[in-house]
Amino acid sequence: MGEHWKQPVVVENKTGAGGIIGADAVAKAPGDGYTWLMGTTTTAINASLVTKPPYDMKRDLQPVTVLGLYALVAVVPAASPVKSLQDMVALSRSRSLGAGSGGNGTPQHLTLEMFNGASGAKILHVPYKGGGPAIIGLLGGQLDIVFSLSAECINHVKSGKLRALAVTTESRFPLMPDVPTTVEAGFPTVLATGWSGLMVPSATPKDIVAKINGDVVALMSTPEMKARLQDQGFLPVAMSVAEAEKFVSVDVERWAKVIRDGGIRSD
């Protein structure tokens, strides 16, 4: 974008509180088009997970476009005897199993809760300080399974260090076409498609939102950008403003149901 607009574009990492701090900074920024948020699945989850957030996602943040999608992938160590999700359920009935995540309320955690609820398994949630450390724990034999973000596990699956049992997308994930879906594996309600996209303060004028969307979509459609996202485990997309609004709204409601049904809290 910096090259396209001949203007500096600065990435500022405002970490903490599961993304709340960064999102709050954008939600309260002037609506002049100069401050953006890289929203994610966690942004949608936080809309219901956090009891008293400092901002209202639906009121204060405007989706601009969704840039990339990812699957949650049920992965086990290559040496594991488990070859399918059905095997995992059966094993959970004979001994205690642990599933890692990037922390309480993360997509990995909530997908595990969906699976436990749908299958009757009682796999223990083991929160780590990030998805990467959870994968390291899985590779080291401290865990039995992780419902990992595709971007965090795809290279380990390709190298043969991890075995992918299923992906949580409704149809097969194009970057892992040989891996069955959770629907094919017999768990049609365990569905989740992760995403990353741009959001701006809701006070941003519609013409500015449309300008950002048009230019970003054009750049995201180039072969170079598509290749860079695919290398990182993301499926490139470039949604219109209306498509992004609908997608994010549906995602917020999907995770809200998981959180309600599981009685999950951010602490």
CATH of the domain at 209: 3.40.190.150
Residue 188 covered by a domain: no
Range 75-101 average pLDDT: 97
Q: How many of the other CB atoms lie within 10 Å of CB of 129?
A: 9
Q: What percent of the chain has pLDDT over 70?
A: 99
CATH code for the domain in which residue 109 is found? 3.40.190.10
Instruction: Please give the Cα distance from 97 to 102 (Å, whole number).
Output: 17
Give the pairing type, strands 61-77 and 162-167.
antiparallel
Residue with the larger pLDDT of the pair 175 and 180 = 180
Which among 181, 156, 161 has a CA at the least distance from the CA of 171? 181
Alpha-helical regions (H) of the chain: 2-5, 20-27, 41-49, 57-60, 85-92, 107-119, 131-139, 150-159, 206-220, 223-231, 241-262
Give the pairing type, strands 61-77 and 193-201.
antiparallel
Six token digits for residue 19: 């993304």
179-219 pLDDT, tens digit per residue, is 999 999 999 999 999 999 999 999 999 999 999 999 999 99
Instruction: Please give the Cα distance from 186 to 24 (Å, whole number).
Output: 39
Domain that holds residue 58: 2-69+193-262
Residue 132 covered by a domain: yes
Q: Is the pLDDT at 267 greater than 60, yes or no?
A: no
pTM above 0.75, yes or no: yes
26-80 pLDDT, tens digit per residue, is 999 999 999 999 999 999 999 999 888 899 999 999 999 999 999 999 999 999 9
Q: Share the mean pLDDT of the chain.
A: 94
